[in-house]
Homo-oligomer: A and B are copies of this chain.
Amino acid sequence: MDVPRYDLRAGVPDLSAFPRLAWLATARKVLAAAPDHLLGYPDPRGLPALRAALAGYLARTRGVTADPGHIVICAGFAHGLAAVCRALRTVGAGTLAVEAYGHQAHRDVAVGQGLRLCPVPVDGMGAVIGEASRADAALLTPAHQFPLGVTLHPRRRREAAAWGGVVIEDDYDGEFRYDRQPVGALQALAPDRVVYAGTASKSLAPSLRLGWLVVPPRLLDAVTAELVAGPSGIDQLTLAEFITSGDYDRQIRRARLAYRRRRDRLAMMLNGQELRGQGLRISGIAAGLHAVLDCPRPSRERDIIARATAGGLALDGLEPYRAPDELRGTDGERAGLVIGYSRPPEHAYTTALARLRAVLTQ
């Protein structure tokens, strides 16, 4: 496996913070008590204990309107997205609106299930949902646009809630908000048309492959049928107990504090005298695990990435996140760096920041 020495790419949490001992202790507790039948083929919607625990958790922390009967468990976001896209096809949808900047892997999943993509611009108020009138459904990141980092403006939220199609709300880092009260899930405004999607990939570890969808009743059977296979029943029981016992909240509070400190250090460094003169502007730091550093031009983005790579620092620009040319939409090209501050273990963060600074001031 090719692991770079320093890594400031977005999308992966600090894996050294995964609570290995607490997770194992919970698995032991759960396995000691579980009746045998829970070791059989799991309910394809997910185990009732986990769906009940998530219903409570999501209502409390994200304002999600969630009956346990409308929650289905999946093996991470891509798995859930694929099932939703196929379900949308079976009910006649043909076109999915996507934000003009986002994960290529997610666009690939949607295309792989037979949907056409229709990109919508993202401006300072978030995705311009009004531009998606040709689409049957839309994939959005309302809490913290990925990768641009903007939070969907209240007016746009209302537009998205009133929009005619199905919205897939990717709440990939909804737990991590630093500057004010959490922005609740868009799903609460239109639970009959929004599919809410969350995972344990940022809060615990991607390796667990644990995710969940809150699905409008009319899509529930179709989505469940398309999931085919979900995560281990034992892992589902373990997560249910982890949530119910309060361990999950404690882990997220710890992580939020640690990431907020990292964000503050990053912002302080980037706002320093030395860099301000260069036209590099930081944004998207109110939430999440990454920031965007706008560059004055694409060539500067490419130069910085090349220098970073040469120096053993993994770093992404905006370019790989941009929807392909023919799909781009109307917002033109932006140049910048997507700086993920969650990935290095705590002891390596100081050096990673120093490397970044060196690359930027070189």
Contact = CB atoms under 8 A, between A and B. Distances in A.
A78 B230 CA distance: 11
A338 B87 CA distance: 34
A42 B75 contact: no
Contact of A15 (B3, B40, B208): B40
A113 to B, nearest CB: 10
Interface stretch (A23-31, A272-280, A305-313): A23-31
Interface residues of A, number: 46
Given A78-B228, A207-B234, A225-B112, A31 B24 contact: yes
A207 B229 contact: no
B15 A20 contact: no
A229 B79 contact: yes
Nearest to A345: B36
A134 to B, nearest CB: 26
A182 interface: no
A205 interface: yes
Interface in A76-112: 76, 78-79, 82, 109, 112
Contacts of A112: 225-226
Interface string A206-227: 1111100000000000000110
A27 B42 CA distance: 21
A79 B1 CA distance: 26
Interface string A31-75: 110001111111000000000000000000000000000000011
A231 interface: yes
A226 B113 CA distance: 10
A37 B15 contact: yes
Contacts of A39: 15, 18, 205-207
Nearest to A80: B229
A195 B292 CA distance: 45
Given A15-B40, A37-B1, A229 B205 contact: no
Contacts of A40: 12, 15, 205-207
A251 interface: no
Contacts of A232: 207-210, 231-232, 235
Nearest to A32: B20
A304 B76 CA distance: 44
A264 to B, nearest CB: 24
Contacts of A206: 39-42
A230 B209 contact: yes
Contact of A27 (B16, B18, B24): B24
